[in-house]
A and B are shown apart, each in its own frame.
Chain A
């Protein structure tokens, strides 16, 4: 396999990464994420009718005299299936109020079949977000500690910085495309953290080993060789994982689309950060530390 110069162009790669991270943060700030029912709370009704029904007809029922008191004007109505199904998203309602809606719909359109009813209080959604935030932060911390223990702490810092990149870029991507996020997105984010660190560790492991075995190479050369030596593994593994993720994204059920797309973006971002960010950052930190140590000695002498 040809040898690529990852380290020689590291300034270009790191600058590119920094730009993408900044762009993602800006996107998150101006567009923000489209948080679904799982996060914001509210009610989702998925119903099947005997014949096709338009969103306008449903809206007519929701705002009609019978349901006026519920104040459903802000509801989002989305046709589904072959047009005889509809998804209605609306504010928090009680079970009785939902039954009232079903009764009114049934009166207008005939038999109404319940496919899905989700009712989530806003407090649950807030908690979910808080939990997800904690889960990501704690997994970063634990990974940092584990790598510091098995390798050295500079590897830990470099590895976690790469992970921060992956998470921010994935969030930024979803802010850009505006897909509605559900609970499986949280699982996907955590998987990205686990998966991307996997890639990084394989490269770090090789650097660690080569540092023991090959003392004549310069550190920069050694890091570059380590990335190259593990390159076919990095590519093959990413490819095989992408096969399944893309298959689920393209052919899988609607429930898993967000999950699969988040994984796809995360795996690509994670592959990038493992190859072009983690090792160069470690190299830079290492050099910084050594210069500091050298200057410290010089002062003492």
Chain B
């Protein structure tokens, strides 16, 4: 009866894994699907303390900008005390994106004496449109209530004089005030294309970065490059896996076949867990997966060797299987836990690809513990019930007989 419940559990787990893999698309890293990986580092800026709050604000600004550019599925994360990671899948408009993301975008409205009277913080909205004197592309600004008053005062005081609009220290436009502007609206005009106007609007609407950021690492991978590398690595992994399955079958015969079945189930469970957790498959991650497969094989080898010893010492088949599992358990637990320790350290210290490797390895180790203890045991017991003499011959060699 117990066996039936176990079978049901195993079937449910396998079915769930299969459905998950089919339903949830695997999440591939930039090294596989191509795109830009950018690490921005906060530069010491006079008058700005680089702390948690500053970096969170900077991250929010970058998020608004990236969203404003309409890039799909971006990843924006803080890293360490002073860095922000930006991942942009795909390669369209990459250069433009990097340009925009790193800009401080400190907008200032100055009076003729050069004093800053309004900043980007006084803006409520910015839109690119055709306008101005000749219907050329411009950016239309709308101020907040407070900004509206400040701007009215600035224009009132400076009729007939120039009030420069400055972005990151560069004068965008230097219009002459004809009359006081009290409706809280203004336009920035200058020599720009519609695209440039749109980007400027995105920048201004997203707000200024509270601190200067400079790229410390930029990696652009085109999807074409990796396609070949991926399929080669994948085929190599499958070839290795095939060799492992064959080896187990030839060396261990019947229990080897059981181990092969367990390994395939193991692969399904790991893939499904990766998909379910939305974990990212990177190239080193796939290598980690292949490696953890090796460890799953190891658990089975340890168990089989143990059962063989128990049989040699004269135990009956079922007693030998039971004792074999019992005695293999501490060994498997200790060896897997120590590997788990290194995976955890990798996860804590690693970044990017190395972290992906650690995640895959961790999931692999846990799945390996589960499959070898639960599924291998169930299958071995079932086979031993059906074909005890075949099982004993597999473990002890031809001609071995044991009275079941």
Residues in chain A within 8 A of chain B (CB atoms): 46, 95, 99, 113-121, 123-124, 128, 131-132, 134-135, 138-139, 142-143, 146-147, 150, 183-184, 186-187, 190-191, 193-195, 197-198, 201-202, 205-206, 209, 229-230, 232-233, 236-237, 239-241, 243-248, 250-256, 259-260, 263
Interface check B9, CB cutoff 8 A? no
16 further interface pairs, Cβ-Cβ under 8 Å (given A114-B220, A236-B301): A119-B218, A135-B345, A139-B341, A139-B345, A184-B354, A187-B350, A187-B353, A194-B341, A198-B335, A198-B339, A233-B301, A233-B302, A243-B247, A254-B229, A256-B284, A259-B287
Out of B91, B240, B335, B339, which one reaches A245, CB within 8 Å?
B240
Contact assessment for B284 and A240 in the assembled complex, using a CB-CB cutoff below 8 Å: no
Which residue of the partner chain A has the closest CB to B228?
A253
Q: How far is the CA of A190 from the CA of B357 in the complex (A)?
A: 10
Residues in chain B within 8 A of chain A (CB atoms): 31, 39, 41, 91, 95, 98-99, 215-222, 224-226, 228-230, 232-233, 235-237, 239-241, 243-244, 247-248, 251, 283-284, 287-288, 290-291, 293-295, 297-298, 301-302, 305, 309, 327, 330-331, 334-339, 341-343, 345-346, 348-354, 357, 361
Q: How far is the CA of A236 from the CA of B308 in the complex (A)?
A: 14
| Residues of A with C-beta under 8 A to B91 | 114
Which residue of the partner chain A has the closest CB to B91?
A114
| Residues of B with C-beta under 8 A to A194 | 338-339, 341-343, 361
Q: Which 3 A-B pairs have the closest CB atoms?
A: A244-B240, A253-B229, A247-B240
Beyond A134-B349, A187-B354, A209-B327, whether A255 also contacts B240 by CB under 8 A is no
Q: How far is the CA of A245 from the CA of B297 in the complex (A)?
A: 14
| Residues of B with C-beta under 8 A to A256 | 229, 233, 283-284, 287
Q: How far is the CA of A91 from the CA of B226 in the complex (A)?
A: 24
Closest approach, in angstroms, between the C-beta of B166 and any C-beta of chain A? Answer: 21
Beyond A117-B220, A183-B353, A254-B229, whether A239 also contacts B247 by CB under 8 A is yes
Contact assessment for A240 and B291 in the assembled complex, using a CB-CB cutoff below 8 Å: no
| Residues of A with C-beta under 8 A to B241 | 244
| Residues of A with C-beta under 8 A to B229 | 253-256
Contact assessment for A118 and B218 in the assembled complex, using a CB-CB cutoff below 8 Å: yes
Query: A123, A134, A146, A195: which has the most chain B beta carbons within 10 Å?
Result: A195
Q: How far is the CA of A194 from the CA of B309 in the complex (A)?
A: 27
Q: How far is the CA of A142 from the CA of B348 in the complex (A)?
A: 13
| Residues of A with C-beta under 8 A to B327 | 209
Q: How far is the CA of A96 from the CA of B345 in the complex (A)?
A: 38
Contact assessment for A95 and B232 in the assembled complex, using a CB-CB cutoff below 8 Å: no
Contact assessment for A255 and B31 in the assembled complex, using a CB-CB cutoff below 8 Å: yes
27 interchain pairs, CB-CB under 8 A:
A116-B220, A119-B219, A120-B219, A123-B41, A131-B351, A135-B349, A146-B341, A184-B353, A187-B287, A187-B354, A193-B342, A194-B338, A195-B295, A201-B334, A202-B335, A209-B327, A236-B247, A237-B294, A240-B244, A240-B294, A240-B297, A243-B243, A244-B241, A248-B237, A248-B240, A252-B236, A256-B283
